[in-house]
Amino acid sequence: MYKILTLNNISVAGLERLPRDKYEVASEIQHPDAILLRSFNMHNWEIPSSVKAIGRAGAGVNNIPVDDMSKRGVPVFNAPGANANAVKELVVAGMLIAARNLCQGWSFARNLEGEDNEISKQVESGKKHFAGFELPGRTLGVIGLGAIGVQVANAAHALGMNVIGYDPDITVQSAWQMSSDVEQAAGVDDLLSRSDFVTFHVPLVDATRHMINEERLHSMRDNVVLLNFSRNGIIDDEAVVKALEEGKVYSYVCDFPSNLLKDHPRVITLPHLGASTKEAEDNCAIMVADQVSDFLENGNVRNS
């Protein structure tokens, strides 16, 4: 019997891939053979020596001490691409929410009070104040052209946007998936200087931490919209607050809570909802449950 410890809620669709006659699955279990998790932070948590494999039901593995696990010969499996559609949809929503001032408009409308005449006047002033802009013809810069970045690039292109992409490690497969109308930028700085919207789809590693800092924000177009559905830390929050005040950044849509940013009227913070759809959760859980069971039962290592 294999013992599987779950450190977060893992979708039932994934757990059903582990038959009860071969697997014991629980959120508390002694001497687990494998661990399944989402965003539980494993750094500073003692990983039992019995563990032979770890399955991360998501794309990012920065919550797992991957190097230590490699030294122990423990593969870390993730689910590349399994939640790409969910993230893509939220990036598109984020662009529209920012361009059309939807959060400000929503908050304005729900606070309207008074007689019909008075409300009509306020509606007129709201329409003027919250007038936005449209996406066709605007340029989206996509930093990171893995499964998610490529889907975002293609969706933006379908909406009539010009799309520039950049990824230092772009693979032939990614290039093939990209629409031929998505232009590859010469580098991050080239992309930043030409984009009206910039979206980030890179992992948080030393090379990407605070990749967007004060200097880079200054090099961007005025009124740029930034979208971060990747990892907190890629963009320097303090520098963004300054850039919002200076009119450099029009809006920042960020899929993480932030005390520094949450009260700013042109910042939209979310509780890491990018991959939170039933479909994405099922896809990720199925992908990692299959990889972990294939490893435990047959010694096969795929996608780690």
Q: By the criterion CB under 6 A, which residues form the site for ligand MLT?
A: 38-39, 58-60, 83, 272, 275
Comparison of 59 and 211: residue with beta carbon closer to ligand MLT: 59
Nearer to ligand MLT, 93 or 119 (CB): 93
Q: Which is nearer to ligand MLT, 6 or 139 (CB)?
A: 6
Q: How far is the CB of 292 from ligand MLT (least distance, A)?
A: 16
239: left (phi over 0), alpha (psi -120 to 50) or beta: alpha
CB 230, min distance to ligand MLT, A:
8
Phi, psi of 240, deg, nearest 5: -65, -40
**Structural contact between residues 199 and 154, judged by C-beta atoms closer than 8 angstroms:** no
Task: Determine the length of the chain.
Answer: 304
Nearer to ligand MLT, 39 or 177 (CB): 39
Nearest approach in angstroms of CB 232 to ligand MLT is 11
Q: Which is nearer to ligand MLT, 65 or 192 (CB)?
A: 65
Q: Alpha-carbon distance 212 to 218, whole Å?
A: 10
Q: Do 295 and 301 meet the contact criterion of CB atoms below 8 Å apart?
A: yes
Task: Compute the least distance from the CB of residue 235 to ligand MLT, in Å.
Answer: 16
In angstroms, the CA 280 to CA 303 distance is: 17
Let me know: does 211 contact 188? Beta carbons within 8 Å.
Answer: yes
Considering beta carbons, is residue 15 or 275 the nearer one to ligand MLT? 275
At 135, list the tokens. 């996406």
Q: Tokens 């979310």: give the residue.
A: 270
Structure tokens, 281: 């959760």
Question: Of 148 and 178, which has the nearer Cβ to ligand MLT?
Answer: 148
Residue 148 Cβ vs ligand MLT, minimum distance, rounded to whole Å = 8
| Residue 58, C-beta contacts closer than 8 angstroms, at least 6 positions apart | 38, 39, 78, 79, 83, 275, 284
Closest distance of CB 98 from ligand MLT, Å? 21
Q: How many CB atoms lie within 10 A of CB 130?
A: 16
- Shortest Cβ contact with ligand MLT: which residue? 58
Contacts of 211 (CB under 8 A, 6+ apart): 143, 188, 200, 202, 234, 235
Q: How far is the CB of 38 from ligand MLT (least distance, A)?
A: 4
